[in-house]
Amino acid sequence: MPERQFITPIPGVKVYEMFEVSLAVILKASAEIPSNQQCPRCQATRLRNKAYVVRELKHAVWGGKVVYLHLRIPKLHCLQCRRYFMLPVPGILPKKRATEQFRLEVFHLHHGGLTQKNLSITHSIATATVERWYHDFVAYRVKELEGRQCPLVMGIDEHFFSRKDGYATTFADLKNHKVFDVVLGRSEESLKAYLKRLKGRERVQVVVMDLSETYRSIIQKYFPNAMIVADRFHVVRLLNHHFLKVWGMLDPEGRKNRGLLSLVRRHECNLKPEQVPKLQNYFDKTPGLEPLYRFKQDLMQLLLKKHQKRIEAKQLIPQLLWHMNECLESPWEPLKVFGQTLRSWLEPIVRMWRFTKSNGITEGLHTKMEMISRRAFGFRNFKNYRLRVIALCGWDGVFAIRT
């Protein structure tokens, strides 16, 4: 019968009978002993077939019916070391009551969005079993990924995990747009143990991060060959933040006006033609704001530059230094603070011009992680959260059947 072979692509398993009962299809099959079968302990080939054990395994869903495999598996006796063992069958793990093909199918369906309830009906398994299998496959895959090397271009950023456990740190693979890992905590103390056993730390070339002192010292200590690059998004946000503060000191009333806020905060190039005179009108009424605004727009233009060649970047440095000094000598406290940040992060900010990658990718992954957390109605256990995150944002989701 051709359909028998269609439904059991397990190598070495031969179906000899097939029949339907009310809601199931039963396949009677036996596992054949290969001629070169060895004893798993002493590798001897002199074996005796002692007995058979019949295992009942769920194997597939076919036309709305669950296909059960009644598989006769030989128990073998090694004539050399005198031990007994069951013949290993690929795709059937010891003690499991379903074949790997079946378990994998449930995993993929659940991963694709079918609910546990749904699967418990179509596959006649308990809802808790769906959850357990899903978890099992994810954990297996994460274990497989455990030994991989650090990414060459890495992003590091923090995100909120839970009120009880606080923040977690994300290590992102910016080249492949994947999560490399998530670790609980954001201080050196809490990341130390993880970083120490990380493989391939010395091969990391670039690390993109926000302007955080803690992360900078961690990277310098644990990733000796990595170049630190400032994250454009954070630098721009910081400049905006300090600029708005100064504006609030200049004109507290105007700062509270939402319409004006939208005009003043915007990049100059994003202003609509009819908005330009409106803004000019406001500047005429507020002395001192316009030069400040021009200065900020200039600096913003400079900070937003990307994929510059080495020579081009070099030529931009004097401009940045000029802006930095202006900030430092400014009578406004917020600008002074920003100037100090620029001075302290000058090199990473200059490197920003040479790169296109930013932590926008990491921020995007954070959004995805938030969705995972929300879909699961929050995680209490960080370990489970990590498994899910790596499962869903850490790789392309291709599995090989376990043997």
Query: Which residue ranges make up the site for Zn ion (CB under 5 A)?
Result: 39, 41-42, 44, 78, 80-81
Q: How many residues in total does the chain contain?
A: 403
Nearest to Zn ion of 44, 54 (CB atom) = 44
Nearest to Zn ion of 76, 342 (CB atom) = 76
Is residue 342 a contact partner of residue 249, using CB atoms and an 8 Å limit? no
Min. distance of Cβ 46 from Zn ion in angstroms? Answer: 9
Min. distance of Cβ 74 from Zn ion in angstroms? Answer: 15
Min. distance of Cβ 33 from Zn ion in angstroms? Answer: 15
Min. distance of Cβ 72 from Zn ion in angstroms? Answer: 22
Min. distance of Cβ 76 from Zn ion in angstroms? Answer: 9
Buried b (16+ CB within 10 A) or exposed e, 124-161: ebeeebbeebbeebbeebbeeeeeeebbebbbbbbbeb
Nearest to Zn ion of 38, 281 (CB atom) = 38
Nearest to Zn ion of 84, 322 (CB atom) = 84
Concatenate the DSSP letters of all residues of 121-171 into one string: HHTT--HHHHHHHHHHHHHHHHHHHTTPPPPSEEEEEEEEEETTTEEEEEE
Nearest to Zn ion of 44, 53 (CB atom) = 44
Concatenate the DSSP letters of all residues of 233-291 into one string: HHHHHHHHHHHHHHHHHH-HHHHT-HHHHHHHHS-GGG--TTHHHHHHHHHHHSTTHHH
Nearest to Zn ion of 78, 349 (CB atom) = 78
State how far the Cα of 106 lies from the Cα of 66, in Å rounded to an integer.
12
Min. distance of Cβ 367 from Zn ion in angstroms? Answer: 56
